[in-house]
Structure 1
Amino acid sequence: MKKRLFIGTKVRLDELDKVRKEITSFGIEGKWVEEENLHFTYRFLGDFEEEKIPPLILSLKGKLKLCRAPEVVYRGVGFFEKKGIPRVFFVRVESEGIQRIKNAVDQALLPFGYPLDKEFVPHVTLLRIKRFRRATKFKSYVHRMKDFVFGEGKVNVVTLFESKLTSQGPIYTAVEEFHLD
């Protein structure tokens, strides 16, 4: 049996209602991430054999115990494009220490056949865009919000999540939590 897994950190952000109203006013439509599901991902594992989860937890625990809890600032917004059209709208995650956690996660995954990730862009997805209009207003908004701080703090927990896809949206369940000092 397999479980759909990812490794991430849950996030709480301020001022999201204001952002949602403004983006919606531009005629942009899509699926907003529920507040309880806000997170940033170190690594998406996809379907993972259940019997390999205990050794994965041990490997992650061994690598992450060497990491300190880094300071993080959630600042500014951005988007990922597909064929020149914004498809994912997000908040940027700024932190020098996040890369050390990402490296530890990648090292823990090597024995399970996951190669090192080449590119890591820490972000918190807010909206998966389905219909995009008013590009000028949207890009102006992204520029205007480049220094807006949605929150800050320490990343004290890295979580191995199971993700179950439902018609109402994904349900994330913590399989194991790794606490950082």
Structure 2
Amino acid sequence: MPKKAEETKGQIRCFICIELDDSLKDRIGILVEKLKTFAPNLSWVSREALHLTLKFCGNLSMSTVELLSQQLQDRLEHCQVAPFLLELSGVGGFPSLKRPRVLWLGVSGDVSSLLKVQLLAEEVCSTFREIRKDDKSFSPHLTLARVKRPSDVTASLLNFISSMEFPSLPWQVKTLTFMKSDLTPKGAIYTPLARYYLGGAV
């Protein structure tokens, strides 16, 4: 069996993120299935792929992955960010909900702690020339679907989103994850490379 391109080049496609627990994924999955009935042709994110991206790192050499992982661990231990509470807060779209290229769930709650760990990840990554600096400022969200054709975004979907009562979906963030991403014809497969516990969380 031929090796994947990333493995052949000795590189790993990866990113830093916050994972969701299974119960939260289940509740989001129920919402996605409901939304999918109004717009089945959108590229909906699978339950297993749900996460909150903090920093996309791109393709990195194994040596860089190891150094980056160690530096993340050291910085998180030094800054002592405690576990914090986030909440998902409604469906939106980029660049707008009327003409979206991406549908997402917004994030609220202890956003100041979220921004602190995202900035930490950004600062650690900035020391590696292999990792590009983001052109856009960080906008916390969970991607639900990607739009290939504008016509796939139906009026019934937008009407449902605008009229729906969004349930309270809080979750406690205890860890950050350094995630490997393998691209396949059926979508990306995510594998944790390392997890970093916040503030003595277990």
The alignment's TM-score, normalised by the length of structure 1, stands at: 0.86
Give the whole-Å Cα distance in 2 for the aligned partners of 1:130 and 1:51: 36
Aligned residue pair count:
177
In the TM superposition, 1:28-39 aligns within 5 A as: 29-39=41-51
Equivalent residue number for residue 120 of structure 2: 104
Q: Could you tell me how far 1:90 is from its partner in structure 2?
A: 1.1
* Correspondent of 1:2 among 4, 8, 11: 11
Q: Could you tell me how far 1:81 is from its partner in structure 2?
A: 3.3
Unaligned runs of 5+ residues in structure 2 are 1-9
Secondary structure of residue in 1 paired with 2:127: helix
RMSD: 2.2
In the TM superposition, 1:28-177 aligns within 5 A as: 29-65=41-77, 66=79, 67-81=81-95, 85-94=99-108, 95-96=110-111, 97-113=113-129, 114-115=132-133, 118-131=136-149, 132-135=152-155, 137-145=156-164, 148-149=166-167, 151-177=169-195
Secondary structure of residue in 1 paired with 2:142: strand
Give the whole-Å Cα distance in 1 for the aligned partners of 2:185 and 2:161: 30
| 1:16 maps onto 2:29 in alignment | yes
> Would the aligned equivalents of 1:63 and 1:107 in 2 still touch at CA under 8 Å?
no
Structure with bigger strand share is 1
Moved over 6 A (4+): none
Q: Could you tell me how far 1:118 is from its partner in structure 2?
A: 4.6
Secondary structure of residue in 2 paired with 1:163: strand
The alignment's TM-score, normalised by the length of structure 2, stands at: 0.78
Give the whole-Å Cα distance in 2 for the aligned partners of 1:174 and 1:15: 21
Q: Could you tell me how far 1:108 is from its partner in structure 2?
A: 1.1
Query: Which letter does structure 1 place at the counterpart of 2:33?
Result: R
